[in-house]
Structure 1
């Protein structure tokens, strides 16, 4: 797996969601279309694990998190930036999503959850905020941010 192959894999997903609102309907659609165990889910999870092992994903570390933005918002990724974070029993920095956020939750520990959710997709709508939290083990989380928009904030 190379960063270019990873970009093509992600672009296959973003092509199908680029014009959709980030809402509960998209969350349900993603989890029905590419659930945990589906070929697309597994290809993305394997690509992320390979990228971490090869050192081109999650190549920064701070505060117990390994993270990295692999792609800025690009035409090839239909205007989404792509970040991957490795977290283990930790809450990350509080942030807001001006345009929303789409997360692919890939547990590395069987029972690991992200914001209380198991393996699968999680969609946060525009204007939402949270302190991303992985509990019950370790997980990789792929973040798709429309226009790359994120605002790190103080928790309310």
Structure 2
């Protein structure tokens, strides 16, 4: 799968997110409209798995985490950047989301969770922070960051 097709998938989704507050209602909406049992979830997961397998996703490694920013914020992505990480039973570096963060959790091992959440969407509001943690196995996590904004804690 080429990265251009993946970009089109993200652009279609981000069009539905543009201008919406990153809050609990968006979290609920994403899980209802594009959750685990939907074609959106399945297509994004398949694309991410293909991208990792083909080497154009998660092409960097540090501290036991494979990661990579595949797309910088752009008008066709409605101002979102796109990152994907590949984590297994590990906690990543602490960071803050000045504008919030939208995560798609895609377990590769049954029972894998991200920040205590199973497969599906997690919306972190503006100003939130965490140490992203995968437990119970391996998972891919897709991050949509408004304006690509993230601040890592020293």
TM-score tier after normalising by the smaller chain length? over 0.9
Which residue number in structure 1 is paired with residue 57 of structure 2?
A: 57
Distance (whole Å) between structure 2 residues aligned to residue 143 and residue 22 of structure 1? 13
Give a deviation string over 1:94-123, Cα, whole Å, max 9, x none. Answer: 000000000000000010000000000000
Aligned residues: 154
Distance (whole Å) between structure 2 residues aligned to residue 16 and residue 64 of structure 1? 34
SS at match of 2:73: coil
Distance (whole Å) between structure 2 residues aligned to residue 134 and residue 84 of structure 1? 13
Alignment of 1:89-104 (within 5 A): 89-104=89-104
Task: Give the alignment's TM-score, normalised by structure 1.
Answer: 0.98
Distance (whole Å) between structure 2 residues aligned to residue 28 and residue 44 of structure 1? 18
Structure 1's unaligned 5+ residue stretches are: none
SS at match of 2:30: helix
Structure 1 segments (4+ residues) deviating >3 Å: none
1:106 aligns with 2:106: yes
Which residue number in structure 1 is paired with residue 10 of structure 2?
A: 10
Deviation at 1:37, TM superposition (A): 2.4
Distance (whole Å) between structure 2 residues aligned to residue 110 and residue 136 of structure 1? 8
Deviation at 1:22, TM superposition (A): 0.1
Distance (whole Å) between structure 2 residues aligned to residue 59 and residue 148 of structure 1? 18
Structure 2's unaligned 5+ residue stretches are: none
Give a deviation string over 1:30-53, Cα, whole Å, max 9, x none. Answer: 000011021000000000000000
Distance (whole Å) between structure 1 residues aligned to residue 59 and residue 103 of structure 2? 19
1:115 aligns with 2:115: yes
Alignment of 1:41-52 (within 5 A): 41-52=41-52
Distance (whole Å) between structure 2 residues aligned to residue 37 and residue 56 of structure 1? 26
Which residue number in structure 1 is paired with residue 152 of structure 2?
A: 152
Which residue number in structure 2 is paired with residue 142 of structure 1?
A: 142
SS at match of 1:103: strand
Which residue number in structure 1 is paired with residue 132 of structure 2?
A: 132
